[in-house]
Copies of this chain bind each other. A is one copy, B any other.
Amino acid sequence: MSSKVRCQITMSLDGYVAGPDQTEDEPLGRGGERLHEWFFGSAGASDVDAEIAAEGLAGTGAYVMGRNMFGPIRGAWGDEDWRGWWGPEPPYHAPVYVLTHHARESVEMEGGTTFHFVTDGLESALAQARAAAGPDLDVQVAGGASAVNQALRLGALDEVLLHISPILLGGGERLFVDVGAPRFEIVETRASRAATHVRYRVVR
């Protein structure tokens, strides 16, 4: 198996990965938490969803993460004390390269996750993540929308796993904006009552 760069992200029917009015208290915006009901097992979630959630991070040797995915939009995370949303043991268990404008020392968390802060852009972060993942493990762009959009625009993604949640958000952070014209091919679709999960190959 050769290493791929992939991402997975949950999108509403109207194309948003976070609702309007994102705040520190409500980082996914108004109504945005409903996007992830398939993941947390509510709203008709089934074995299919649990299987997809479990597969999600498997086979991944390193992550690249946008600034807003790591910390609040305003406020604390210029702060040296901010260590992400996930508590002492984040679910990544691998190096995570966080895009930022503020240089900062790496932060080692419990369970194998280390946050590295990259100030020279997505291509640099992807190169570092690929080197860390090695030839056998994949790199994932962990979100948010703007990091995924930028990776698509750069032609850097091999695969997108899209979780389409049956909700409307009416506003917020849109996926697939200003991404150029990548060609998508459907690899497989799996479905439950909670979400439709489609894996696309991105032809570059």
Interface residues of A (CB under 8 A from B): 13-15, 44, 162, 164, 166-168, 170, 175-177, 179, 181-186, 188-189, 191-196, 198, 200
Contacts and interface: CB of A to CB of B under 8 A. Distances in A.
B168 A198 contact: no
A80 B139 CA distance: 60
A162 B13 contact: yes
A42 to B, nearest CB: 13
Main SS at interface, chain A: loop
A39 to B, nearest CB: 15
Contacts of A175: 14
Given A14-B176, A168-B179, A179-B168, A196 B186 contact: yes
B44 A186 contact: yes
Nearest to A38: B186
Contact of A184 (B13, B186, B198): B13
Given A15-B15, A162-B13, A166-B185, A196 B198 contact: yes
Given A181-B170, A189-B189, A176 B44 contact: no
